[in-house]
Structure 1
Amino acid sequence: MQRRKRSSALLTAALLLSTVGCFPGGIVDRGGFVDGAGILPEATSVRNASYRIVCRDRDEVKRREELVAKGEPVPNTPPVTYVTPEEYKGGCEVNGESSRFFLFHLWPVTPTLDPAYAMGLPVQELEGDTMINIRTWHETHYYSILGHVRVFRVRGDVIRFEEAKK
């Protein structure tokens, strides 16, 4: 009986040490890796349609933050500027993501990864029509024995098609 108690205590201690040793990984710094990177420059076919690239206007964002601080009304439109493809030099890329959490690395507890959702969030935020120059990748982040998260990330330029003149 004494020997059985000692072996179960040793087994419990070994199990506890193995799980406690990796536990800070989910609290202090998430671990993980990136896989499945891809570049989709032609994911959205513009077919010679005229469009402008939607860029976040940093000056307008600051101005609106000052308006909020003063308690004044803020415009109900996104703080953006429109740049023609010929004038565009980069720097207007936006990011979106979709994620799925697996509890104890076994059971998914959130909806599946949705690339359309990941792309749709930044497009809606800037009130654009679609994205071009799309780059995608998957990330996996491990949180000790609690589980892991699969993240689908997308980065690209939001565009808005110009309306046809009648």
Structure 2
Amino acid sequence: MQKKKLIPYIILAVLFVIALGIRQYRSEEVSETGSPATNNTAPSTKKATESRRSNLDIFRDPEAEYFFTKHARCRMACRNITQKEVKEIVRKADVNYNKSDLDAAQGPKYAVEGYTARDRQHIRVIVAPKQRHLSIVTVIDLDKDWECPSCR
């Protein structure tokens, strides 16, 4: 009778271990740019292409897709910063490597800084390049502290 009660827990534990193994395997496949490796390209061709294209080229791509996190949109609204201004700063790709986290668990995060054209706000944009888009994590005004209680 006791063994029958343990079977569901054993099955659950085995599934958990399998899921962890799959997750570990996939994380080892993630390349330096944060995109998963694919089998449809020969490894030598893929490495050559990646070495020619740096992360800064991704920022400068005018056709790049942007995803603004809820937090970033809230901070932008509070600080009167538009998506157009954020994109213009990211395209200039003036990276502050001291404030960047290139070894983040979910992929590198770059701190890109510059002045907006409209009102010359000095801002820092935290960008996380993903496989299909650039994820805007947050936007910071470097010259003025803004009260944004709803963004916390």
Structure number, greater radius of gyration: 1
- Write 1 or 2 for the structure with the bigger share of helix: 2
The structure, 1 or 2, with the larger RCO (C-alpha pairs under 8 Å, 6+ apart) is 1
> Would the TM-score normalized by the shorter structure come out above 0.5?
no
TM-score, normalised on structure 1? Answer: 0.27
TM-score, normalised on structure 2? Answer: 0.29
